[in-house]
Amino acid sequence: MRTPKGIFITGTDTGVGKTVVGAGLALVLKERGLRVGVMKPVATGCFGEGKRLISGDAVYLFEAAENEYPALTNPFRFRNPLAPSVASVIEKREIPIEKIRRAFRELQTHYDYIIVEGIGGLLVPIHKGYFVANLIHEFGLPILIVARGGLGTINHTLLTIDAAQIRGFQIHGVIFNRMPRVNLSVAEITNPKTVHDLSGVPVLGTLPEMEDVDVDRCLFGSLRETFKERIDLDRLLGLETAAR
């Protein structure tokens, strides 16, 4: 069965670990012999000076996939850790969506599979009237939702699923990230099954906190092996559904 050409990783909130999930997927797919391209269309909270701003998230994805086109990976970077629409006004720099479209189309010509990481959740505004959800629609990719494991995630995850389904997005599943390895709370134990039972969306697995994985220091540690052990890759790629 032919592997689908890409996935768009979104989250129930900011800081849920989309970058680690994207890097883990890239590492595993590379091991399977695929040429994997990664993209972080817009990043905020970057470091550096002027036009030399750097996104730690984009660098982490880029290194995990061993890509060759940094300008395509992360077309827009802003210093302020804000929604892109707000950061672009403060920093007096527009975000022409056509530049993002061109970068995505070019990446598709170089790689077998494209992993796109959004910014925050589905309704984060990129500019006035244009949200992350609009970008997903234009790219035409299925989505993977990354969620926290603890209290409150049922509401956040179901709202994200609902917003995605209203827009007709194909949801390949949910991954619960940064789960404790021991002493899980009752919420952390029950939330994955509850979300699946209430939404019907597959829960593809859970990823624990990994002390040897660090985005800021670009450390991958046990990420690849942990991803392989704990995540249902065939469902994530849509292969199980396609085989039915």
- Active-site residues, by number, are 40
Contacts of 236 (CB under 8 A, 6+ apart): 7, 25, 144, 172, 173, 204
- Residue whose token pair is 């049922």: 154
What span, in angstroms and rounded, lies between the C-alpha atoms of 189 and 104? Answer: 38
With beta carbons less than 8 A apart as the criterion, state whether 231 and 24 touch: yes
With beta carbons less than 8 A apart as the criterion, state whether 8 and 141 touch: yes
Q: How far is CA 109 from CA 6, 102, 113, in A?
A: 12, 11, 10
Give the H/E segment covering residue 53: none
Instruction: Return the SS3 of 145.
Output: strand
With beta carbons less than 8 A apart as the criterion, state whether 1 and 242 touch: yes
Instruction: Return the SS3 of 75.
Output: coil
